[in-house]
Chain A
Amino acid sequence: MKRGFGIFILLGAAVGYTATPAADVESTASLVFGSFSSPENAANWAARVSLLLNTPIEVESLRNAQGVWYRVVTTAASETTLNAVRRAADSHKLTYWRLTRLPGSPDVVAETLPGKSKPPPPGPVRHAPPVRAREPEPIAHEPGKDAADTNSQLDFDLGLQTRTYRVEGFNGQSRFQPSLSAQLDYYRTWDKERQSLTFAPYIRYDAEDSERSHFDVRELFWSQVGNDWDLHVGVRQVFWGVTEFHHLVDILNQTDLVENIDGEDKLGQPMVHLSLVRDWGILDIFALPGFRERTFPGQDGRLRTVPMVDGDHPIYESGARNTRVDGAIRWSHNLGPFEFGIYHFTGTSREPQLVPWGLTSGEIVLRPRYPVIDQTGLEALAVLGDWALKLEVITRSGFGARYAAFNVGFEKTLVGVMGTRTDLGLVAEYMFDDRDDEAFNTVFEHDLAFGTRWSMNDIADTQALLGVVWDVKTEEYFFSMEASRRLGETWTLLLEGRVFGGADEPDSNAPLQSLFDADNKTASLQRDDFIQLELTKYF
């Protein structure tokens, strides 16, 4: 504190200024530009005034009942100089007042102290005490004081969706599939935002597929946030991964397959999740009591296997069936342009094997079988200029022999393509599974994907994603397109389309055969090309 003050005086003395004419009588008056309780603020202000007026300005201390004050004041000068300073101050619209010192008692002056509403001191005062001269208040904010003690938010959206297929389904399912959905999101926080409750139920009604009409609690959990830890208890959604086309490492939440075949819609998973934030990264520990079964389209649904999956009669490897407590631990860290996450999961596989099952009616269905697995996964990402390089790797035991799979790829962002405001993202990824043709739980075993992401950067937030996945060995492919824009402030329109090709349709005499034909895994999707329109209103 003292030092800053001292330096100012030192420099103040060194400042060159027009020498006072010798003949001029030294005045007992000076101009005051404000008073402060902090010497640094006074020094700051003095420096600025000095700079503006090109004249030496001092800080002097004075004591009164309120304590020590620091006054920003002109150095002793002649009346002529003082008048010049006054003119300069007027031209800069600085406020000041004139102080006339009483002989012998320089500190005993009728000064209007900051914060007092007394009339200005005697002398030709131009203005009220300067605004600048108000002593800064100490920082009044207590930590967390601003966070309202409780705060709650309720959001709600309604969606109308129609899917139109190119042709009827393999089992004669309808070409037109309208549905309605609603999502509620309630959030309440208290304890200075240290604790919160989230509740997000979701419902869809589908006019064609009774299995697609469903209700799910996406989230219902309580959180407590410490300084370097988070604890979440309840039903939640947690996503892991870096690649765009296939989410290989993502494992905690079950896929809500009836919503969309892209695997991005998830069912809520009950969990206790402790997250520790440390210098060496973030450590997440999960206990996952209870298993969620995958949703599958029903008899009248589209985008399903032929024959259909009977999701209501699953087979569990675990004797505890869907009440087994699974667990996962993950370490993630970022070091400048590099980041990674590595985890181990032990528990019932979210991804089922599909087992053909003859019903007494003679009909054949597929039953989902959920084995107990151990899976270790790694995700890594490096940012190099405009490039993001991405890697996802897993190794899994429990699905027959231990196997490994990876996704590797990049994303490059081009800002302002062709002189427009549009940003273009280019994505290329390769997906590999070391079981090759034996990998019946995935279609991504030797596939190349290429995608573009267009962001128009317009008022309506228009965006588009175009992608193609191509199996380099079997030459199966699918195209996908997603485009969205806002209509006004509370509506959005989403257009989605998919085209499947390169495989033969299932043989109606032997549908099972095509299901286990490694060159024809997408056979049952070949009639399911569709265009989807979705209008959403946000409340």
Chain B
Amino acid sequence: MDLGRVQADEVELRYFSYLFLFCWVPANAALPLADGLTAEEFGLAIFQEADRRDAGYIDLQVDLEMILRNSRGTESRRLLRIKQFEKPDDGDKLLIVFETPKSLKGSALLSFSHRVEPDDQWLYLPAVKRVKRIASRNKSGPFLSSEFAFEDLTLQEVEKFTYRFLRKEIFDDRECFVVQRKAVDKYSGYSKQIVWLDTAEFRIQKIEYFDRREGLLKTLEVRGYTQYDGRYWKADRMLMVNHQTRKSTELVWRDYRFATGLSEERDFSTNSLRRVR
């Protein structure tokens, strides 16, 4: 049953050795860090640990409400249902189904994420019953008209970034690792991201996104982490503010369910796209 834990076991030695190296990181560490671990290696280790802690749930289902606000405060809401399937040997599989607005009901997006190669993506258009393959190389565009880009929401495999540990600092009463990451993909819309992860649970608390001209573009703040099944920390609110347009998008996550018995063939094929509701 507990696949994730068995796999975690096999790599435990490596992770634990990194973990213990954390002990020596003083607040303003001079780089390279102690024991020959460079800021890059340490940044990577932090994200590997965060990834490890977030792995092993096999599959999950969750409902998502997106609240889009423009600078005048006009609001638009979308309701989505999300199914995700963990693939330990590759990227995960993701199915997003539209509930509202009603004009888009039944539209769906299927994405097979890969560690290095571009993701495979299909869109289902219910009005014409058509499954359409999408060229997905450039993921810097808005996701469903929100302030989130595709690349902010698609599954963030550790291998898709390079990292650099910057410092430890208190953010929102929590001690956090502050790590800079850069997308390996040259089509990323960002020059860099700065990520705050709390040192207690390795949960992302905040991300600052910098545009290609190195200007601060957006800030994401993550709130309301709840622990599920005694293991996975999932946030129920995410707020993305675009500093350049003053538009914002709030994500409200509801009803997380883990290990619900989804099947890769039954729930994540182009066939399943055609029958989603």
Contact = CB atoms under 8 A, between A and B. Distances in A.
B260 A146 contact: yes
A139 B258 contact: yes
A454 B128 CA distance: 19
B262 to A, nearest CB: 8
Of the four ranges (under 10, 10 to 19, 20 to 34, 35 or more), the interface on chain A belongs to 35 or more
A239 B128 contact: yes
Interface stretch (B101-109, B158-166, B215-223): B101-109
A519 interface: no
Contact of B117 (A1, A40, A189, A336): A336
A225 B275 contact: yes
B88 interface: no
A413 B135 contact: yes
Contact of B16 (A8, A155, A386): A8
Contact of A457 (B16, B74, B103, B145): B145
A384 B17 CA distance: 41
Interface string B199-221: 11100000000000000000000
B275 A421 contact: no
Interface in A183-199: 187, 189, 196
Interface in B235-277: 257-261, 263, 265-266, 269-271, 275, 277
A250 to B, nearest CB: 9
A387 B138 CA distance: 11
A109 B117 CA distance: 56
Contacts of B263: 227
Given A51-B22, A385-B135, A187 B16 contact: no
Contact of B102 (A54, A142, A155, A461): A155
A292 interface: no
A227 B266 contact: yes
Question: Which one of A54, A144, A146, A238 has the highest number of Cβ atoms from chain B below 10 Å of its Cβ?
Answer: A146
B23 A415 contact: no
B142 to A, nearest CB: 4
B200 A92 contact: yes
A364 interface: no
Contacts of B20: 11, 14-15, 47, 50-51
B87 to A, nearest CB: 14
B229 A264 contact: no
Contact of B120 (A3, A54, A226, A337): A337
Contact of B261 (A145, A264, A385, A388): A145
A293 to B, nearest CB: 20
A189 B260 CA distance: 17
Interface string A27-69: 0000000000000110000011011101000000000000000
Interface in A172-228: 187, 189, 196, 223, 225-228
A51 B74 contact: no
Contacts of B68: 459
Given A11-B20, A336-B117, A486-B101, A48 B200 contact: yes
Contacts of B16: 7-8, 11, 47
A155 B261 CA distance: 28
B9 A242 contact: no
A320 to B, nearest CB: 27
Interface string B98-123: 00111111000000000001101000
B191 interface: no
A518 interface: no
A363 interface: no
B249 to A, nearest CB: 10
B23 A7 contact: no
A277 B271 contact: yes
Interface string A127-154: 0000000111101111111110000010
A464 interface: no
Contacts of A146: 61, 257, 260
Contact of A92 (B130, B175, B266): B175
Interface in B173-202: 175, 189, 199-201
Contacts of B129: 237-239, 266
24 contacts: A8-B16, A11-B16, A40-B5, A51-B23, A136-B229, A137-B229, A139-B2, A141-B258, A141-B259, A143-B260, A157-B102, A223-B275, A237-B129, A282-B269, A282-B271, A383-B135, A388-B133, A412-B135, A415-B140, A416-B141, A458-B145, A490-B101, A490-B103, A539-B102
Q: Which 8 A-B pairs have the closest CB atoms?
A: A136-B230, A143-B261, A538-B102, A415-B141, A457-B142, A415-B138, A459-B76, A239-B129
Given A187-B277, A332-B270, A388-B134, 10 more contacts: A11-B17, A52-B175, A144-B261, A146-B61, A225-B275, A275-B271, A383-B135, A412-B135, A458-B145, A459-B74
